[in-house]
Structure 1
């Protein structure tokens, strides 16, 4: 008997017909609240959809733990640095992501940071709250040098918007391919590039080699007054070093959606810093994300059944790594 496909009740209601068309003859095991409508022992593939986060994550994990035949999990998110995913990879489970589903809304939030910090929106908001008429010059983004770390779907969309704002955009990825829409440097040359980065956007996944990629030493390489935007993972940046660089004025401002500790502790000085925009890990929040992630899953399900390469497959760590 073909293995079952585990999905949430929300996904079954909205995409059940598409799932059955992509995988004819495959039964659906449906997670309804805390209970699984189906036999976990028969589950071969599963979809961790956005409607299951955060409340349904525990029942899903419990069901997957009881699924010895699980071969593949697709997740609504792009990042898979959580130990939950690493344990599945260690079990030999294939893992795919919905990378790209939230790229446009996240890039729009980056544009919000760029415009808010360059036009001093935080200062204008304080003036408005104080009923203070305070006209002053603000910064122009046109011609400014923007460096984008990471050229996945999010980074590429940030590049497009940066170019639309007439910024001078340079991308960074581990190994340039030659088909990028902007000048692109290898990650190994990051230290050479940082002194030119008036605006720096981090859109990288978190991995061992990217943990604290932007530390005190690299922050010091930025030109004085540079702005830092992070929509990747909080631990890409040494947060204490960033706070110190903001306090000294070496970093002129920051737009931050992700943090080393989340929720951001109330005592963090980032909350009240006059040149920092804080958002609660919500840069990609958009009603259309769940639909786009589900469409990627349906496409991957057809690929899985047909024995074709899967989109956005995560490479399992090498044995002994």
Structure 2
């Protein structure tokens, strides 16, 4: 129909509604049913103009809204920064140690800490012992989580026995979430793994975050195995079976001896010995076969 209008200059009769809606045809005058073609550019301009105007108006309203909320957003950001202020980054060993000593002196009810992976050096344990005993002497409850591997580490066992004799409590797990120091329920110190040199920590005083960390500790405490010093020599019995099963579970999952040792806080040689004894027991000739036989035996369930 539009082509006919272009060819003959006009058309009449039944006109498709789309040509009228798009304004591609218009009446020659009000008294006739003759329609003449309209250039597409002109027709589209007439239709697009109000849409473009609405877009401009919308953009203007959007700008007004953004300007109106800019000041309020500034107040919100300021309040958010203040609410996060209780989470501070501590950098450097001296700064971290100073914070630990300060919070230890301020602690009133309970000191909880988790110490995963490798046992602490003997000299560090000797330096920390008076401070921990000082907390107990002030009536502060002391609870500590270690990994099972420390049960065979003499300096750590001696440290635990001394603290236990003054009222400290110790439990061990095969794996721990991470290192944590908790003073009362008001301050937590956790590692900052984003630090390149590994000497960063986060000092947390936000009540919600500290409460969450405390709940994580308490949940692990409930699952942990108490360290019993009531043995003939006053030393805790090593959890050999549980450690062996944990090593074998990780081996079946595909971890290397080095990775297992780092994860469980024991030496690579100890891990290799656990795997070797299991291989001898099951008569396996390779690590893959051992994993298969262990999975079939159901011993790790």
Q: TM-score, normalised by structure 2?
A: 0.24
Higher relative contact order (CA 8 A, sep 6+): 1
More helix by share: 2
Q: Which has the larger radius of gyration?
A: 2
